[in-house]
Amino acid sequence: MADEPVVEPVVKPVDTVVGSAVEPEAVVEPSPEPHPLAEGGTRFNEVYARMKQAEERAARIEGMLAQQQRPQTQPQYTPEQVAAYLQQQVDRGEITPMQGSNALSQFNAQRIANLTAVQTIQLLKPAIYVKGADSRFNPTQGLQDESDAIAAVGGKLMFTDEVTYHSTDLVRMMRGEVDAYAEAAT
């Protein structure tokens, strides 16, 4: 008998009888669905899910924009390094000497075009730095920086007394966009 399983009797609950009537069990009604626009409502949940997706999409786009706006670090080559590389290409017959000279000229032009006025002064070390007459009467922080830079290299800042033509106007005139001389004469 030790190997026989023990079976317990199952007891079923019995409704309580009060007097002659049976008490009904409490009826739990399901809670009504919330209004579709109320929190937990179907439309609210749809709109909320779309908002979360839009926030995630906006965060991704902002990250991509920040990555594009981050300055791209390009290797900075000196003119000597570029000249040596171009000479190697000429020696191997990959480019002609004229193509090498042209590439080096373009490299130098691009390098100089990206310099500020102060950097150009420091690079060229001019004896005289000339500004238009309008600069004399309209000093700016840029002009002060340029004046300090020219003094640091031993040069002299001078102003013209002639009619002032801005370089931007001259470039536009050369492109045919503006006839700066005709406008100045009127």
- Interatomic CA distance for residues 95 and 101, integer angstroms: 10
- Whether 2 is covered by a domain: the verdict is no
Average pLDDT in the 138-157 region?
91
**According to the model, what pLDDT value does residue 37 have?**
84
Q: Is the distance from CB of 152 to CB of 141 less than 8 angstroms?
A: no
Number of domains into which the chain is organized: 3
Lowest-pLDDT range of 17-21, 46-50, 113-117, 141-145: 17-21
**pLDDT tens readout for residues 119-146:** 889 888 999 998 887 788 778 888 899 9
Q: Indicate the pLDDT class of residue 180, thresholds 50, 70 and 90.
A: very low
For tokens 């317990």, the residue is 8
Both 125 and 181 in a single domain? yes
- Whether 178 is covered by a domain: the verdict is yes
Q: Is the distance from CB of 125 to CB of 152 less than 8 angstroms?
A: no
- Interatomic CA distance for residues 115 and 108, integer angstroms: 11
Both 186 and 121 in a single domain? yes
- Interatomic CA distance for residues 2 and 142, integer angstroms: 105
User: What count of other Cβ atoms lies within 10 Å of the Cβ of residue 100?
Assistant: 20
Both 121 and 158 in a single domain? yes
- Interatomic CA distance for residues 125 and 150, integer angstroms: 7
**pLDDT tens readout for residues 70-126:** 776 667 888 899 999 999 999 999 999 999 999 999 988 888 777 888 988 988 899
Domain extent for 159: 117-186
- Whether 21 is covered by a domain: the verdict is no
- Whether 7 is covered by a domain: the verdict is no
- Interatomic CA distance for residues 85 and 80, integer angstroms: 9
Both 109 and 128 in a single domain? no
